[in-house]
Amino acid sequence: MDILEIDGSFGEGGGQIVRTAVSLSCITNKPVKIENIRKNRKVPGLKPQHLTALKILKKICSADVQPLKIKSTSLQFFPKKVESCTLNEDVGTAGSISLIIQVLIPVISICQNKLKLKIKGGTDVLWSPTIDYSQVLLKEVYRRMGINFSIKLIKRGYYPKGGGIIELEVEPAKRIIPINLSNRKTRIVKLSCSFSKIHFDIINDEIKGLEKKLTENNFVVKKEIKEEKALDAGATLLIASIDDHSIIGIDSLFDLKKKKFDLDLSGFIKNNQSVDENLADMVVLPASLAEGMSIFQVDKISKHLETNLFVASKITGCKYGIGKLQDGYEIRIQGVSNSSIK
């Protein structure tokens, strides 16, 4: 069987290419070879969370993976049939659980299998969606596309010790539904914050400031602040607005030195498109395999989105287009709807 070669330095040049390529390799049963993995990063090659995701995929589809080691800058992935399974895994570091399950959920569901996974690692870490983002925004957009999963948070895990634990359950999809979104209509936002080993008054003052800015811009804020003990000091924040036409959110970790959440709140307030920048690239994989055309809007085209569009089209053969709007961009993806993947 021919092996599809992918340049891992394309686009954002990070772990996104690996995650998308191996996920689609499993689903389509096409082997892939990835070179130059994270080539331009300070520490090139595979990180612990990449390795954990690959090891789990190896188990669920009996894949042959060469090599399977930290810091490897090349990878060959030969998948076989995806099977339902129950697993217990440990990243071994504060490596992102959210990035790992982002790989697993579409593979298991689209291939019409089930997964029960208990995993230990980082639930809320830098350069990754928080677990709340996955639990709220990713879950919602995937549900609308026919992919259903649940996350039970057992314990938060911040950098550097990690120690966070979740239980993930993924259900088989009956079919993959194209998504068609337009513009944000709602002015209701849900603000949720969890903290550990930080004084409540510090967190509460920060949340009050964010709430004030939102209400000044005519948003109705429903907030929840709770203390959840973790091994390290830390705090995580999610602000989300969801309606029939849009799914938009922003998440952030608390900067312990600056004593504030590092986030672009004005960008969230001004964004009247249908998905946020981070969710846009997560939609690409299922959209490439959907039964029809998916349409959504973003305020800007990120490198992650460019990367996923490129990889998905190369592996699945899906077609996509990007159109300029007055205040953003519209993405159209024609899914291949190949019955052989079911």
Q: What is the pLDDT of residues 7-27, one digit of tens each?
A: 988 877 788 899 999 999 999
Residue 203 has pLDDT above 50, yes or no: yes
The residue assigned the tokens 């305020």 is 299
Among 251, 270, 289, the domain-final residue is 270
Q: State the CATH number of the domain containing residue 170.
A: 3.65.10.20
- pLDDT at site 36: 93
Task: Please determine, for residue 88, whether its predicted confidence score (pLDDT) is greater than 90.
Answer: yes
Domain extent for 294: 4-180+275-341
Q: What is the pLDDT of residue 342?
A: 42
Among the residue ranges 174-183, 222-231, 333-342, the one predicted with the least confidence is: 333-342
Amino acid 90: pLDDT: 94
Q: What is the mean pLDDT of residues 297-324?
A: 95
Q: In what order do the strands lie in the sheet with 164-170?
A: 85-90, 115-121, 164-170, 149-155
Q: What is the pLDDT of residue 225?
A: 98
Number of structural domains in the chain: 2
Residues 312, 318 contacting (CB under 8 angstroms)? yes
- 207 in the same domain as 120: no
Q: Kindly report the backbone phi and psi dihedral angles of residue 146, in degrees, each rounded to the nearest multiple of 5, phi listed first.
A: 95, 5
**Same domain, yes or no: 171 and 202:** no
What stretch of H or E contains 331? strand 329-334
pTM: 0.95
Percent of the chain with pLDDT over 70: 98
- Of the chain, the percentage scoring pLDDT greater than 90 comes to 90
**Mean pLDDT across 44-68:** 91
Contact 94, 117 (CB under 8 A): no
Same domain assignment for residues 172 and 285: yes
The predicted model gives 273-292 an average pLDDT of 96
CA–CA dist 193, 223 (Å, integer): 8
Rounded CA separation 77/57 (Å): 10
Q: Give the domain CATH number at 223.
A: 3.30.360.20
- Which one, of 173, 184, 159, 286, lies nearest residue 234 by Cα? 159
In Å, what is the CA distance from 243 to each residue of 48, 189, 249, 302?
A: 36, 10, 12, 23
**Statement to judge: residues 29 and 107 lie in one domain:** yes
Active-site residues: which are they? 304
Please give the average per-residue pLDDT across 282-304, as a whole number: 96
Contact 16, 102 (CB under 8 A): no
- In this structure, the answer to whether residues 309 and 323 fall within a common structural domain is yes
